[in-house]
Amino acid sequence: MKEQDRFRSVLIFGGAGFIGSNWAHRLLETSEAKVHVFDNLSRHGVRHNLESLQRAAGKSGRLQITVGDVRDAASVERVARHATEIYNFAAQVAVTTSIQDPRLDFQVNAQGTFNVLEGARKSGNLPFLLFTSTNKVYGDLGIRQLRGTLKRYVLEGCGVSETQPLDFHSPYGCSKGAADQYVRDYARIYDLPSLVLRMSCIAGPRQFGNEEQGWVAHFVYSALTGAPLTIYGDGRQLRDVLCVHDLLRVFETVREHKAVIPGQVYNVGGGPQNTISLLELIDEIECFTGRRLHYELEESRPGDQLAYVTNFAKLHHDTGWTPQYSVRDTVAEIYRWWQRNRQLLAPARVPARLAARGWEELPEAAA
Q: Percentage of residues in the chain with pLDDT exceeding 70?
A: 91
275: left (phi over 0), alpha (psi -120 to 50) or beta: beta
Contact status, residue 175 vs residue 92, Cβ threshold 8 Å: yes
Reference 116, options 212, 195, 207, 183; nearest CA is 183
Instruction: Out of 87, 153, 172, 308, pick the active-site residue.
Output: 172
How far is the CA of 329 from the CAs of 36, 146, 153, 201, in angstroms? 30, 28, 23, 15
Distance CA 118, CA 356 (A): 22
In one-letter notation, the amino acid at residue 26 is R
DSSP string, 87-121: EE------HHHHHH-HHHHHIIIIIHHHHHHHHHH
Tell how strand 63-67 and strand 147-148 pair up: unpaired
Tell how strand 85-88 and strand 63-67 pair up: unpaired
Q: Determine the pLDDT at residue 351.
A: 36
Distance CA 22, CA 207 (A): 9
Q: Determine the pLDDT at residue 365.
A: 29
Q: Determine the pLDDT at residue 127.
A: 96
DSSP string, 266-289: EEES--GGGEEEHHHHHHHHHHHH
Burial of 150 (0-12, 13-18, 19+ CB in 10 A): exposed
User: Which domains, from first to last, does the chain contain?
Assistant: 7-366 (3.40.50.720)
Q: Determine the pLDDT at residue 32.
A: 96
Q: Determine the pLDDT at residue 354.
A: 27
- 172 tagged catalytic: yes
Q: Determine the pLDDT at residue 301.
A: 82
Q: Determine the pLDDT at residue 145.
A: 60
Distance CA 197, CA 260 (A): 15
Contact status, residue 117 vs residue 83, Cβ threshold 8 Å: no
DSSP conformation class of 134: E
Q: What is the pTM of this model?
A: 0.90
Q: Determine the pLDDT at residue 304.
A: 79
Q: Determine the pLDDT at residue 144.
A: 56
Q: How many CA atoms lie within 13 A of 202 on its CB side?
A: 27
Distance CA 324, CA 317 (A): 16
Reference 42, options 201, 171, 248, 208; nearest CA is 208
Low-confidence ranges of the chain (pLDDT < 70): 1-6, 143-145, 346-367
Q: Determine the pLDDT at residue 346.
A: 56
How far is the CA of 235 from the CAs of 148, 175, 216, 222, 307, in angstroms? 11, 27, 13, 16, 11
Distance CA 128, CA 87 (A): 8
The pLDDT tens digits of the residues spanning 249-291 come to 999 999 999 877 889 999 999 999 999 999 999 999 999 888 8
Q: Determine the pLDDT at residue 343.
A: 82
